[in-house]
Structure 1
Amino acid sequence: MNITILANRDLHANIALNLMRPLFKQHQITLFLSESVGLAKPDWRIPQALQQLKFIEQGVFNQVITPLVEQQKHQHRYLSFNELGALSGNGCRVLENINSPVGLDVFKSSQPDLVLSIRFGKIIKAPIIAIPKLGVLNLHSGLLPQYQGILTTLHALIAGESQVGCTLHFIDSKEIDTGNIIEMASIDVDKSRSLFGHVLKLYPAGTKMIMNAIAKLAQGQSLASGAQDVSKQHYFGLPETQHFETLERRGFKLWQQEEVLQVLKHYLAMETMAKLGAW
């Protein structure tokens, strides 16, 4: 099966792809990346807390961890995006303007039977959706239909939910997070875990749903799905400073050093970790 993966160049998307590495041997994979998410409103100012998350998930990951990873010789580690592209045999390319005529042509060249979207930062429009015969699947880091949009784990924690989760659903229009739901997975909220830590915990279950869906499609089965309850849909846009202040009042940290260290252990040899010193 020809599978085109659309992902964002960030830590969480990279972890998800590493959890799905068997696909790179079982199918023909093409990997395209976005490097930013959405378009900010003219009057929106990025909250300091969101800058911190972006620094860890994109800045540190792409500028520090990735170069170190690609110097590591030991085999039992996560791969960088470039290494995953090499594993597929098709490389890894940035495709920021996927809906432009040039972007569409590049996308078409992958000849996808199926498209997977994992944290991809751009809206996927009708000309893209029409190409793969098996459709476009999106792994959304929120429980639909109540938590559509951006960083919905933040809003679920603010709302006092006992569980947070992720949803595998079809993308069938340019409307965000509205397509038919295939499957959902949840984890219990843990006050000892940060926002960053809760998001991390979503991807083992989320990628398992993707792997199960692809196995069914590879066997010629269709994916059962159900329409979302429109009356329960709620979209969350770019977060504001007050959202993070409420998160702190709820007793949740933004991120924790121990959680970042656990992530690094998947990528770096122990001797490299020791050389970092400051950790």
Structure 2
Amino acid sequence: MNIVLFTNRDFEANLAFNLLKKELLNHRVKIYFSENVGAPKNKPWDLRLIEYYEKEFIFRDLNKIIKDNRIDTTFEFFNEDFKSFSLTRCTNPNTPGFISEVSRFAPDLFISIRFAKIFRDEIISVPKKGILNLHSAILPDYRGIMGTLHNLKDDKKEYGCTLHYITSRGIDTGEIVAMAKRKINKKRSLLWHIFTLYPPGCELIIDGLQKLTDQDRLPVRPQNATLGNYFSVPTEEDFQRLKRLGFETFNENDYIEILSDVVSPSLRDHLTNNLGGPNGSR
């Protein structure tokens, strides 16, 4: 198939690509990524903390640590060394120029993972087999931004991710293909819970891709529009509620464990006491 992967330049999306890479190499693929640019001073400290370890540390500090210490890894980063497929920044997928560009590729399928732009009707109609989105929370309970945070602060027993179609400009409202759930672990941080959604989520995508080789659409079930909630950018109170339940937003040991497991075991010694942090006061 001809596949366009819409993603984001952060660790979770980069991890998802590496988990999907073996399957994607069986197809013709183009990748477009978004980059969020916001005003750090207007964000809660904990959100800035998460974004620092999702983005800045990964693409600046971690890459330097790997190169300076000649650490071997098969993990392919979204940087200047990326070679598997074309990788292009996308600022707006809804412009006539972009729609014309992507249409020339004759895409069978779009896959969206953490892409920070909303698809409008014209771009939605381009791929023959539709658009699949991996949403990092359980639908319809947690639509919108950082659903895992709200899932944990609601003191639930499970968290998860949802593979669904995008058929309109509504956010996280499309028909559900499949869902993966895991047990919540209060000894682990919020960021650990977010990172660990992507292995089971990518399994859902791989299963879908293999089925779509021989069919045009996956079996689905509709979402009930009267259920669930939509969440915007989390507030300071959202993080405080999470902490009152005993969760940390970020934990150094969790973070080092994840990076060592998925990038290289050799990282562990180089990361201890070397993680830095975002600029500015709490």
Instruction: Report the TM-score, using the length of structure 2 for normalisation.
Output: 0.89
What is the percent sequence identity of the aligned residues? 33
Task: Name the CA distance, whole Å, in 1 between partners of 2:210 and 2:133.
Answer: 16
Letter in 1 for 2:236: T
Q: Name the counterpart of 2:171.
A: 176
Q: Name the counterpart of 1:278.
A: 273
Q: Name the counterpart of 1:9.
A: 9
SS at match of 1:78: coil
Matched-pair contact (CA < 8 Å) for 1:6–1:31: yes
Q: Name the counterpart of 1:240.
A: 235
Letter in 1 for 2:20: M
Task: Name the CA distance, whole Å, in 2 between partners of 1:274 and 1:162.
Answer: 34
Give the deviation of 1:220 after TM superposition.
2.5
Q: Name the counterpart of 1:86.
A: 83
Give the deviation of 1:25 after TM superposition.
1.8
Task: Name the CA distance, whole Å, in 1 between partners of 2:146 and 2:246.
Answer: 18
- RMSD across aligned positions (CA): 2.3
Instruction: Report the TM-score, using the length of structure 1 for normalisation.
Output: 0.90
Q: Name the counterpart of 2:36.
A: 36
Please, which of 119, 122, 142 is the counterpart of residue 147 of structure 1?
142
SS at match of 2:42: coil
Task: Name the CA distance, whole Å, in 1 between partners of 2:156 and 2:93.
Answer: 35
Matched-pair contact (CA < 8 Å) for 2:256–2:271: no
Letter in 2 for 1:173: S
Give the deviation of 1:24 after TM superposition.
3.0
Task: Name the CA distance, whole Å, in 2 between partners of 1:215 and 1:66.
Answer: 33
Does 2:160 match 1:165? Answer: yes
Give the structure with the higher percent helix. Answer: 1
Give the deviation of 1:82 after TM superposition.
4.0
Alpha carbons of 1:217 and 1:83: their partners in 2 closer, same or farther (altered >3 Å)?
farther
SS at match of 1:26: coil
Matched-pair contact (CA < 8 Å) for 1:69–1:268: no
Task: Name the CA distance, whole Å, in 1 between partners of 2:264 and 2:73.
Answer: 10
Q: Name the counterpart of 1:50.
A: 47
SS at match of 1:117: strand
Q: Name the counterpart of 2:27.
A: 27
Give the deviation of 1:69 after TM superposition.
4.8
Q: Name the counterpart of 1:231.
A: 226
Q: 5+ unaligned residues in a row in structure 1: which ranges?
A: none
1:200-236 residue CA offsets vs partner (Å, 9 max, x unmatched):
1111110000000000001236300011011213101
Letter in 1 for 2:182: I
Give the deviation of 1:273 after TM superposition.
5.1
Task: Name the CA distance, whole Å, in 2 between partners of 1:240 and 1:6.
Answer: 27
Alignment of 1:199-238 (within 5 A): 199-220=194-215, 222-238=217-233
Alpha carbons of 1:110 and 1:163: their partners in 2 closer, same or farther (altered >3 Å)?
same
Q: Name the counterpart of 1:77.
A: 74
SS at match of 1:254: coil
Q: Name the counterpart of 2:263.
A: 267
1:216-273 residue CA offsets vs partner (Å, 9 max, x unmatched):
0012363000110112131011111110011110110001111211233232462x65
